[in-house]
Amino acid sequence: MSTRETIVVGASGHQDCVCVPGFAGLPVPEAVYCQECPAAYADVHNTSECVPCPEHVSHAQTKRTNVSVCLCDPGYSGPDGCPCVAYSAGTFKAEPGTDACEDCCVNEYAYAAAAVCVVCHANSSSLPRSPVVDNCL
């Protein structure tokens, strides 16, 4: 796949080449310099900047052309490419994406937006879905 192409009818030289979606760049005297969009995307031709994913949303791919590649971070949920909201305390979500959160088990707790539950300290216990360390008694 080329990082540049012409989109002008009757293009006559390299100066008519622009970055394809998934790449961004600025014109330079000899041509257009196009760079892969890392952990972001570019959904149109001839853009100078890649668009970052919304807050609490990310991806580790390059050359993406659509916001739908942006997945909710661990601890957050929402539709692909959209803003994500934090899961409530006492729950967790370990993987990126649209997966549902899971409840913390007995003797564990988790603050809001947790990617994992934390085990209570020695000689203490808590109820399932405990939201704070203070519940470990």
126: domain CATH number? 2.10.50.10
Residue pair 70/81 in contact by the 8 Å Cβ criterion = yes
Give 4-27 pLDDT, tens digit per residue.
Answer: 666 667 766 666 778 888 888 866
pLDDT in tens, the chain (137 residues): 567 666 667 766 666 778 888 888 866 655 567 888 877 788 888 788 888 888 898 887 777 888 888 889 999 999 888 889 999 999 999 999 888 999 999 999 999 999 999 999 999 999 999 999 999 99
Statement to judge: residues 54 and 83 lie in one domain:
no
- Which residues form the domain of 23? 1-69
DSSP 85-123: EEPPTTEE--SSSSPPPEE--TTEE--TT-SS-EEPPTT
* Domains: count for the chain: 2
57 membership: H or E segment, kind and range: strand 57-58
Structural domain ending residue among the three candidates 41, 69, 97: 69
Statement to judge: residues 1 and 62 lie in one domain:
yes
Which pLDDT belongs to residue 118? 97
Which pLDDT belongs to residue 92? 97
Statement to judge: residues 63 and 44 lie in one domain:
yes
Statement to judge: residues 65 and 112 lie in one domain:
no
